[in-house]
Amino acid sequence: MKPTPEPRADARKEAVPDALRELVGQPVQAIDTPALVVDLDAMQRNLARMADFAKKHNIRWRPHAKMHKSAAIARLQMQAGAIGVCVQKTAEAEAMVAGGVTDVYISNEVIAPHKLARVAALAHQLAAVRGRLAIAVDSEEGVTRLAQAMNDARTRHGQAAVIDVFVEIDVGQRRCGVPPGGAAVPLALEIRKHAALRFAGLQAYHGRAQHLRTAQERRDAIGIAVDDVVFTRKLIEAQGVPVDLVTGAGTGSLVLEAASGVYGELQAGSFMFMDADYAQNERDPAQPNFEHALFVKTQVISTCATHAVCDAGHKSHAIDSGLPRVHAFDESSALDYFNGGDEHGILRTAASGQRLPALGRYLWLIPGHCDPTVNLHNFMIGVSGGLRSGKVEKIIRVDARGALT
């Protein structure tokens, strides 16, 4: 399913401020700080690497849009071969659909009836353009409420639509999902009782495995997840119910799910931008060599004998997975970033004999975690030609910024 409709005008969308619009075509030096900057060349290379990888392994990919939250980037991913996108929130799904994305999977549980009404409305809206909506469940109540919402929507919309429903099993994340094995069977059977729901398979995402540092630890964790999936699938299929698809995987472990022969769809999202946390992983030899493509441009606003202070703190970048790294264009300028609070970063030299940056100097930070960093910004500034001598190519709206509900 290719994304065909152009994004419809949405009055709620924030207009691009003049100062940002006027930046297009300007050299990177003109970018005010702090700002979230995407190296578009690196991003495109990452996209091509992912597309190649998926093709080589003959596996579907559905990147997680909770990371970039941009319908324009989602459409770019689908043009490169992605089947659609994942999201975590109903409001993110709405933002993607409003931006012309027609195949969306809410890889999370939705329980509130008024929110399920929005899910059902979206399913009908997408069905009308031959698109598709999917969702995860992990409780009978979740299934029953979803079916109710779909029935109510059918009455309102005057047409039938079907939503794909995945049963989530907990393969090690210790968050949502039923335990692997027998608990998934009654849910699959319950889904099949409702005409508006289609049992689409298993959601088996192991988020923690992404951040295990050694390749061996990740192999062990995903090995267990694969066993869990195989065991659960067997029990469901023993009831005569086919399990069409197993979906999961993030950037840190995708080579393992892809090689498993069990997963049919990869949800990895971070590969597009990467971050300082993923950079700490020992790389699996099979892993495509994804590059950093997301940066915070910052300026030194204060200096003293011991440190320099830059204008990017944790209102500019998320620190849940660690502080940002200072991007070093050359080794002689290695700096360490220390937490300076909401609006400041403290910079110290990484080795003796090095110099602190001068007042007014611009630096580039590699955020610790891309997803919540993007969510702090209304817009990303897309640069082509590199961070040193490139120019601003486009302004990318973070359509689903703050889309929490």
Q: Which residues bind its own copies (CB under 8 A)?
A: 11-12, 14-15, 17, 32-35, 66, 88-89, 108-112, 114-115, 138-139, 141-142, 170, 174-179, 207, 299-304, 306-307, 309, 311-312, 314-316, 318-320, 339-344, 346, 359-360, 371-372, 375-378, 401-402, 404-405
To the nearest 10 degrees (0 to 180), the angle between helices 113-128 and 140-157 is 50
Contact 170, 181 (CB under 8 A): no
Q: Half-sphere exposure of 108 toward its Cβ, with a 13 Å CA cutoff? A: 22
Q: Half-sphere exposure of 196 toward its Cβ, with a 13 Å CA cutoff? A: 24
Token output for 200: 């689409």
- Least distance in Å: CB of 48 to its own copies? 27
- Least distance in Å: CB of 264 to its own copies? 24
Closer residue to its own copies in complex, CB, 102/373? 373
- Least distance in Å: CB of 185 to its own copies? 16
Helix (H, G, I), strand (E, B) or coil at 259: helix
Closer residue to its own copies in complex, CB, 138/257? 138
Closer residue to its own copies in complex, CB, 80/319? 319
Task: List Cα–Cα distances, 307 to 35, 121, 332, 337, 352, in angstroms.
Answer: 22, 54, 17, 10, 13
- Least distance in Å: CB of 269 to its own copies? 11
Closer residue to its own copies in complex, CB, 91/241? 91
φ/ψ bin of 248: left (φ > 0), alpha (ψ from -120 to 50), beta (otherwise):
left
Closer residue to its own copies in complex, CB, 282/320? 320
Token output for 131: 């698109």
- Least distance in Å: CB of 222 to its own copies? 18
Contact 65, 266 (CB under 8 A): no
- Least distance in Å: CB of 307 to its own copies? 8
Closer residue to its own copies in complex, CB, 62/317? 317
Q: Kindly state the DSSP code that residue 313 receives in the 8-state scheme.
A: -
Neighbours of 111 (CB within 10 A): 12
Closer residue to its own copies in complex, CB, 111/286? 111
- Least distance in Å: CB of 19 to its own copies? 8
- Least distance in Å: CB of 130 to its own copies? 28
Closer residue to its own copies in complex, CB, 135/293? 135
Q: Locate all alpha helices (DSSP H) within 14-112, ordered by sequence.
A: 18-21, 40-56, 65-68, 71-79, 90-98
Strands 325-326 and 362-366: antiparallel
Element (H, E) at 220: helix 215-237
Helix (H, G, I), strand (E, B) or coil at 296: strand
